[in-house]
Structure 1
Amino acid sequence: MSSEMSEMGKENAILIRQGVKQPVFIENVKTKDFSSKIKYILTGEGAGTIFIIDDTTGDIHSTKSLDREQKTHYVLHAQAIDRRTNKPLEPESEFIIKVQDINDNAPKFTDGPYIVTVPEMSEMGTSVLQVTATDADDPTYGNSARVVYSILQGQPYFSVDPKTGVIRTALHNMDREAREHYSVVVQAKDMAGQVGGLSGSTTVNITLTDVNDNPPRFPQKHYQLYVPESAQVGSAVGKIKANDADAGSNADMKYTIINGDGSGMFSISTDKETREGIISLKKPLNYEKKKSYTLNIEGANTHLDFRFSHLGPFKDVTMLKIIVGDVDEPPLFSMPSYVMEVYENAKIGTVVGTVAAQDPDSTNSLVRYFIDHNTEEDRYFIIDANTGTIKTAKIFDREETPWYNITVAASEIDNLGLLSHVPVDIRILDVNDNPPELAREYDVVVCENAKPGQVIQTVSATDKDNSANGPRFHYSLDEGLSLNPNFTLRNNEDNTASILTRRRRFSRTTQDVYYLPILISDSGIPSLSSSSTLTIRVCACERDGRVRTCHAEAFLSSAGLSTGALIAILLCVIILLAIVVLFITLRRSKKEPLIISEEDVRENVVTYDDEGGGEEDTEAFDITALRNPSAAEELKYRRDVRPDVMHTPRHQPSSSLNSIDVHEFIKQRLAEADLDPSVPPYDSIQTYAYEGHRSEAGSISSLDSVTTHSDQDYNYLGDWGPEFKKLAELYGEIESERTT
């Protein structure tokens, strides 16, 4: 901690040792001005709480104990100000107070305790595990965070590297069979292990795993076994075992007969659970022919580790002498085994078959039979003690148990303890007593947009009976119901059936689930059948057949309306639509009058009685009233083709008058009016007058001079004059209007 006086306006670095009792003087700040008006203030991290300043003397003290692990340094600013105006007298000084570390944290193992394994027989120095301890003290200051490792418990078997914490084996070829588990305590001490340092410890539990480093060993080099000549072929006559100190698969072994005169009479097998050698009889013994046999038996490990081959060989050999005992021979069965058959569901007492045995001795004693009741299966049969006839004692179910294996024993009447045994295998024959059933629960879906004849599901069936009484299966719809209008069934002749739709389209809102009873029959005699019901759900599908949803969208039913109410509403809507259509049809078929009023001149004929004042009288009527208003707005003008009429003199010969065909002229105008796209869309009438034939006054028509306004005298036409004048004026006005 510094005690030097610091001048205002400079930066200072101050070290404070953590854990010192408070308050502690840290620094004194002074200004060049020693006036009594000076006031010292302190700002920054911890100012006013952890650090305080005397506003008169400038002494800075710490009021609380500091912990470097929480905060390593503090930045403070001291300044001299005027007491009256609070204005700074000099620039502020910055103090960086660094907390100096002390050794107040012990090393800690965050992952302990540890559990680890290492193979036995490992080389000395084999790495087992690396442990790591952490120290919260400052690693850059002193030795507070410098940790060293040591073994507190576990020597001399294991060691630890003082710097890295790596645990290693300290002995060569540690033997699991001698000791398997070790508990090692490792200590981590700071201050580089010096006196006064803090420490922490952890436990490492180490287990030696087994390797195949021990060969099998027979406890004895010679064994002797007594086997009576009455022993059954295939029966176990003795056991032998070699010991192995290893564990698990490293102790597995196999027994073999390597030589001896009894290798053809006996066999040996290995019991994997007990690791024993089971000696069985391969052929019948006869004391009168051979009284003893010798076997050399080898026991060898099946899993070898070549790293330890130098410890082998991993096998051992012993000699077994088998002595054949002379006994009164039991009855001898006519066959080494029997196979019999009986139908399931046969009545109790049904004869299954007969076994026969005879006494091989010269006395030829009578034989008595019985069944060895060693298992539950033996209680399903009884045997006649005198004849050897086997009968049923219970009802059989082939589907539950298709085979029974019993053992029949035979003995002489005079010596019931002298037995011979024979295996009897009884096969239960099948009877058609199980109807076929659907192979599984089917989730059948039909799309709303289904088409007639579309396959929606293929079903199959199973039968517990065998193939003779099961397939082929026949599928049909339940005949007790009426013809199904929605679905049908098709036999595929391969023990399956397909469900097909019979109509087009289904509606979830109308019916979302259908039930289809199916009758399935087998091929047994007599045939059995069963009925199963398929549940078919109606679903909305995509065009490619993928199911989109199967929930009915009953938006109408949610409103609380019944089906009858919905039908009534639909009928009312249909009737209203029919009335509207009929009304519109009658309105369109009604004929409108040719002329509604004299004022409506757009869609009707304009009538007038003014004779007119000749070609120059254009005030008799408004020619624009004859035009279509829309055509006038769009400036679409019609240009009629003028008739090619010769301008004739006042006195025209009679032959030229005959050449004028007024009927053709009118037809030509009518055709032009029909083909002209600019004519009004409403009906109109064009009127043409005819002055007659062979008039001596000749033609006075102004059709050839519609663009020339001249006075024309029509009086010489007599009675035809006024009418023809009107026609000429009307035509002239129309032609003038269209050409402009």
Structure 2
Amino acid sequence: MVPANGRTFSVQFQDPNGQKREINVYLVQNSRKVLKDGLLKRSKRRWSPLPFNIIENDVPPFPKDVDLIASDSSATRSVYYTISGPGVTEEPVGVFSVVMETGMLRVNKAVDRERTPQFVVSSKQQLLIALFDRYTNQETDLPLPITVNVDDVNDNAPTFTGLLQFTVLEQSKAGTMVGMVNATDIDQRGTDHTKIRYSLLSGTNLFYINPETGVISTKTDTLDREVNDNYLVTVEIRDMNGALNGLFNTATATIVLGDINDNPPTFTKTSYDVKVKENQGEGLILRIPIEDKDLVKTPNWNTEFVIQKGNENGNFRIERDPKTNEGLIYLIKPLDYEKTKNLKLEVLARNQAELSGTKAQWMSIPVDVSVVDEDEGPEFTAPTVLFTVKENTPNDTLIGTYIAIDPETKSSAGIKYYKVSDPASWIKVDESTGQLKIANNIDRESHFVTNGVYNVTMKAVDASLKTGTGTVIIQVEDVNDHVPVIPSKDLVVCEKDGGEMGSVLVVAEDKDRAPFAAPFSFELGEEHDGRWAVKRLNDTAGMLEHTMELPNGLYTVPLMVKDLQGFGKTQTVMVRICRCRNGACLAYQNSTSLGVWAILAMLLALCLLLLLCESLMFYYVHSSYLCRPDRLVSEPLDIRCNITYCNIFPTIRLVLGCSLWTNNKMHSPFFTSSFTLSTWSLQKLAYLGTREEGRYADDIIHAYGFEGVGSPAGSVGCCSDQGNQEDLDFLNTLGPKFKTLAEVCNNKK
């Protein structure tokens, strides 16, 4: 029985060349149609030849017969065959043809399997063979797709893929993987044509390659980068599983050895000697070369240096030269031959990385430093010396001695002493002995003294003119040479309502320091008038208040301020009692707001009032004189007023005289005005002549006199003081002007 339609199976066989082949068998059931009347009708036959096989890259001559395609129809009919599709009428064109009479399939040229492994592509691109009746030219069977397989031949050698460069650390254990060789073969997979075998043609004493995987491994643990840092090995790849008839390729693989720190740095010498002058400044004194076989410019090669011994005083510093890897020893503190003539250093060299794969240890080397003696300048017995001196100590007083010695001779003989710095010139130095004495009065409160300390710089000079310097620190002790003083002696007491007494704060200062300064005591001076009292408020201030109601005005109060030791003096303060606003007298504020020109306008109004009174009298007495035609004045008038005095009576008359000026000519006075001052007023004027200038313009009567040209005080006319229109302090301190007037009146008594 034939299985169901569409079943397939394959038959494998071996051709004469020993190649395995496979034929696919397709089973097709005969197709018969059943008519409606129940009769059977045979359909066209579906003939199905087996797939055909050809060998790629076959050699001429061509064409060559592939196989015969036959149909049952050819037994009963005269037929012919045609073929079309890929390999015939489609690319690659002309590969196949068919003998029309016999149905023999032929190949006309060589085929590359790697390009076209099979000539059945799709339903639309099939190799079709058709069968036709010769006489009717009708198809006797349905067109049949056929398959032509291109059998592979080993025509492609395997090729390498990827880089053939690998790295492995030196001294790696045997069996350590180095890398993997990759290869490929484009022949048919699953055949010996693509079965690759790997082998090493060189370097087999050090490396091994897995023949199936291509993995390269080490065969020894003796690989030494410092002996040979890379190896070149030849790798072969061969198909046919390595058979002698297999195709092959070779290539060179580079194996680089990675570095490990298996070599410590070594010194080129066993020891070093270096000479250094005493007192030599900072600088490089020695270079120590280093050798290291490890990879340059890596932590395995970079060296770190340590001074393990001999640098307890910190005289040296060692560091690495980044370019040469040398050790550099620097002197950072001067050496003293008299203290140390020789120093033995021990220098250790090690890498930045720890040692590995070796039993070696870090190495060290001795460095002998010899100090060379030099003629040094004298040295003071101490860099600084402290002396305590009271201020105001008498001149020529010895405060101490500061000497130097020669470091070589340990003697002070022949050394001279001089001052380098003495800002206030308070000290004199004995050139031969180094004795220090007072040259001028020492004042602790001087700006040359800072926190009670005064410094003098000295130098010592030996016979060879070598010098040494030292500092004398003078601690200035305070004495009670200053009394407390009241820096502000002009005080204001604001008037109180309801009979309450006013008070004002009095603050004192003392340049001395404790215990010659605060706390202060405050009391009234012996000449006080009993109208004031003072009490201590704190260490530096007291509160002054009046003990009875006093009218507004200026008062003089003597105050005694004493320091903690009872040392003080009586000082006079000026206290003004007034109505205040914001702590300032209202009178002062009002005058400030009034302005100088307003006050001058008031004075001018007074002059005009007097002028009006006198004009009436003048009109009646001198009308005939003034009205004379020859006395009429056509030019503008300039009236000027002078304040004068007359001493023709036992009382003083203040006279205001006014004159006409025309064309810069002064005419005779045309009126005078006067009023009489009492004897009391005369006494007050005399009193003013004996007082300080600061007392003028207070609540007392003032007299004015015509002083004329050249007066030291200047004019007291109505327009003589316009310097600062807003500053009305002149109302309180009009000293020179009023003093002159008072002196004149006093002399005329």
TM-score, normalising length from structure 2? Answer: 0.41
- Going by fraction, where is strand more abundant, 1 or 2? 2
TM-score, normalising length from structure 1? Answer: 0.41
Q: Which has the greater radius of gyration?
A: 2
